[in-house]
């Protein structure tokens, strides 16, 4: 007796069998969609933090700016503060450096001199749309833009303003670190190790129900399925044929559900990226899981 006719008998035998298989496909699809979104979001939070914290450097042994500090080409003086326009918060970093400084501003090849500034794309758009005497003239001459690699998201309002050392020394925003002397500007993934642990625990706590959902739906109608396979044995199917049909049915339904889940996840990225956390929405690419993660989720579900 051939495997294919037997498989067709199992799959298309009656309406309840088809409903069971559709339920498995739907459940796996939902599980994969949620899993990939959570995996991508977990990675995105660290990347967003790294892109948004370089202007507030954290060091175990910071060098604070003093009135008698002498800057060298390898150092720069910075101070972080905030500005406001129509209720919107603008993150400001003042920077003072020598003309030949080796310190680089993330997202730009330019270190602004006094009277110059760099703006994030969202801030540059806001400045263009606002009256010059209300916003644009506050910072001087714009000499460049910060790339998306240096901002938390598409709505982030960030400016890097060139200043002299005395201006930097006199500026410190509420809750911001005192003016510092730095050799590089690098962000960090999380504000502290505690936040990283909390994020990991939250991801695991959310992931467990997803894995349980996939496990439950793949076992839908187990008793009915066992009876149907017992019927196949009665009509002459060998144990090997029954095992192959059972494996093929499980693999086919979970593979279809996983592929549909990947499609649903990709389709939902633009909508999920509109969620605002902290200062901005997400960039869509922040929520795009790596091909390796997507492939592993599909293969793991199908072969598991």
The residue among 197 and 153 whose pLDDT is bigger is 153
pLDDT of residue 1: 47
Look at residue 201 and tell me if it is in a domain. yes
Measured CA to CA, the distance from residue 14 to residue 100 in angstroms comes to 78
pLDDT of residue 72: 95
Measured CA to CA, the distance from residue 178 to residue 164 in angstroms comes to 16
Look at residue 139 and tell me if it is in a domain. yes
Look at residue 60 and tell me if it is in a domain. no
The predicted model scores a pTM of 0.78
Residues 99 and 148 in one domain: yes
Residues 299 and 200 in one domain: yes
- The rounded percent of the chain whose pLDDT value lies above 70 is 79
Residues 177 and 208 in one domain: no
Residues 287 and 217 in one domain: yes
Give the tens place of pLDDT for each residue, 102-156: 999 999 999 999 999 999 999 999 999 998 888 888 999 999 999 999 999 999 9
Which are the contacts of 283, defined by CB distance < 8 A and separation ≥ 6? 148, 153, 154, 273
Give the residue from 182, 215, 236 where a domain finishes: 182
Confidence label for 59 from pLDDT (cuts 50, 70 and 90): confident
Look at residue 104 and tell me if it is in a domain. yes
Residues 245 and 280 in one domain: yes
pLDDT of residue 170: 81
pLDDT of residue 143: 95
Give the residue from 163, 182, 201 where a domain finishes: 182
Give the tens place of pLDDT for each residue, 31-55: 899 889 988 988 888 888 889 889 8
SS3 235: coil
pLDDT of residue 185: 92
pLDDT of residue 258: 94
pLDDT of residue 301: 84
Average pLDDT, the chain: 84
Residues 176 and 226 in one domain: no
The residue among 173 and 166 whose pLDDT is bigger is 166
Is 24's pLDDT higher than 70?
Answer: yes
Q: Which domain holds residue 148?
A: 76-182
Q: How many domains does the chain have?
A: 2
pLDDT of residue 180: 93
Residues 211 and 298 in one domain: yes
pLDDT of residue 115: 93
Q: Is the distance from CB of 153 to CB of 48 less than 8 angstroms?
A: yes
pLDDT of residue 19: 77
Give the residue from 138, 154, 182 where a domain finishes: 182
Look at residue 61 and tell me if it is in a domain. no
Look at residue 187 and tell me if it is in a domain. no
Give the tens place of pLDDT for each residue, 221-278: 555 666 666 666 666 666 666 667 667 777 888 899 999 999 999 999 999 999 998 8
Measured CA to CA, the distance from residue 55 to residue 235 in angstroms comes to 74
SS3 142: strand
Q: Is the distance from CB of 120 to CB of 163 less than 8 angstroms?
A: no
Measured CA to CA, the distance from residue 159 to residue 82 in angstroms comes to 10
Look at residue 273 and tell me if it is in a domain. yes
Look at residue 115 and tell me if it is in a domain. yes
């Amino acid at each position: 007796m051939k495997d294919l006719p037997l498989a067709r008998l199992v799959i298309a035998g009656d309406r309840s069998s088809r409903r069971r298989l559709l339920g498995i496909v739907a459940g796996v699809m939902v599980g994969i969609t949620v899993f990939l979104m959570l995996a991508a979001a977990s990675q995105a939070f660290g990347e967003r933090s790294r892109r948004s914290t370089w202007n507030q450097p954290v060091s175990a042994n910071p060098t604070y700016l003093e009135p008698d500090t002498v800057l060298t080409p390898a150092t720069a003086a910075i101070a972080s503060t905030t500005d406001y326009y129509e209720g919107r918060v603008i993150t400001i970093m003042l920077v003072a450096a020598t003309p030949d400084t080796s310190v680089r501003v993330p997202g730009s090849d330019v270190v602004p001199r006094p009277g110059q500034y760099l703006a994030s794309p969202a801030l540059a758009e806001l400045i263009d749309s606002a009256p010059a005497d209300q916003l644009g003239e506050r910072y001087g001459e714009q000499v460049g833009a910060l790339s998306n690699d240096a901002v938390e998201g598409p709505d982030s309002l960030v400016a890097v303003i060139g200043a002299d050392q005395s201006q930097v020394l006199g500026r410190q925003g509420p809750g911001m670190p005192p003016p510092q002397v730095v050799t590089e500007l690098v962000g960090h993934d999380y504000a502290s190790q505690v936040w990283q642990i909390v994020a990991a625990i939250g991801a695991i706590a959310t992931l467990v129900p997803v894995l349980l959902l996939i496990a439950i739906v793949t076992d839908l109608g187990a008793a009915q399925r066992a009876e149907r396979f017992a019927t196949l044995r009665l009509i002459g199917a060998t144990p090997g044929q029954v095992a192959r049909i059972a494996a093929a049915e499980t693999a086919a339904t979970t593979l279809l559900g996983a592929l549909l889940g990947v499609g649903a996840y990709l389709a939902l990225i633009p909508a999920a990226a509109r969620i605002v956390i902290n200062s901005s929405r997400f960039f869509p690419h922040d929520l795009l899981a790596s091909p390796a993660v997507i492939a592993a989720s599909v293969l793991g579900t199908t072969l598991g």
